[in-house]
Amino acid sequence: MERVAQTGSTNADLLARLAGGEQVGEGHWLIADRQTAGRGRLGRGWNDGQGNFMGSTVVQLTMGDPQAATLALVAGVALAKTVAALAPHIDAQLKWPNDLLVGGAKCAGILMERTGNSVVIGIGVNLVAAPELPDRPTATLACQGAVLDRDHFAGALGIAMIDALWTWRQEGVASIVRTWLPLAHPLGTPLRVSEQGIDGTFDGLAEDGALRLRVAGGETMLVHAGDVELRRPVEEER
């Protein structure tokens, strides 16, 4: 693993290296102590917090690999298993497609960006500090009583990622989905697809990794991409 004291974005750094022709091996991690221009999905800011985990790795796509978009589930499985192993008393839950929640608040996020046959996967975990976001609550593992060393967390995550990638390649997306589901919030959890303003409840995942959303009338729609949030009670939305 490569560590730097400060950078703008570990994802942007690896993307620039790849664009410049550098051979970044699969499994290599770039980890920053501080990150000044980090970003989440849809361009959201997700900047530093000293002591948090902020790192990116590369997956080199090969012939026969499942769809690259399903790597979000791979990273989610690795992330959730790492937290469960190091902080077993914390009830952390995955939310499709790329968040880890603690008590319904965002504790970690995953950002994937592709260039050619390389996919850069960035993961940010609120070990000790959480940024304030305008549209959702955030949480830290430390506030739940889990004081984790950043480098120890990084090592465990790297191993879990190798294991999840092997499953993805050798056993397929359906196997990753079966592993992902027990690590997620329960079936029936109220959800909202933000862009379309569609409300429903969590009905699991399809075998290809798409979200199954049960909507009014009992029908189930498949969501292949989008920003999905836990639906707040009506009184909180007023």
Sheet (strand 198-205) strand order: 220-223, 211-214, 198-205, 190-193, 228-230
Query: What separation in angstroms does the CA of 184 have from each of 75, 98, 108, 125, 175?
Result: 13, 11, 13, 17, 15
Count of helix runs (H) and strand runs (E) in the chain: 5, 12
Spatial contact of 75 and 98, defined as CB atoms under 8 Å apart: yes
Q: What is the predicted pLDDT for the residue at 217?
A: 86
In one letter, which amino acid is 118? S
Residue 134 reports pLDDT greater than 60 = yes
- Mean of pLDDT values over 70-81: 98
Residue written as token pair 């920003």:
227
Average pLDDT, the chain: 91
Alpha carbon 59 to its chain centroid, in Å, reads 15
**pLDDT of 106 strictly over 50:** yes
User: How far apart, in whole angstroms, are the C-alpha atoms of residue 199 and residue 214?
Assistant: 9
Please give the full DSSP string across 118-162, using - where no structure is assigned: EEEEEEEE-SS-----SSS-B--SGGGT----HHHHHHHHHHHHH
Tell me the C-alpha distance between 76 and 206, whole Å: 16
State the residue for tokens 């985990």.
53
Per-residue pLDDT at 39: 59
Largest interatomic CA distance in the chain? 53
pLDDT for 237 equals 42
Count CB neighbours of 28 within 10 A. Answer: 15
Q: Say yes or no to pLDDT of 100 above 50.
A: yes
Is pLDDT of 234 > 60? no
What's the average model confidence in pLDDT over 88-111? 95
Q: Helices marked H in 34-149 — which ranges?
A: 71-86
Q: Decide if 57 contacts 121 (C-beta within 8 A).
A: yes
Q: What is the mean pLDDT of residues 176-195?
A: 95
**Environment class of residue 206 by beta-carbon count within 10 Å: exposed (0-12), middle (13-18) or buried (19+)?**
middle
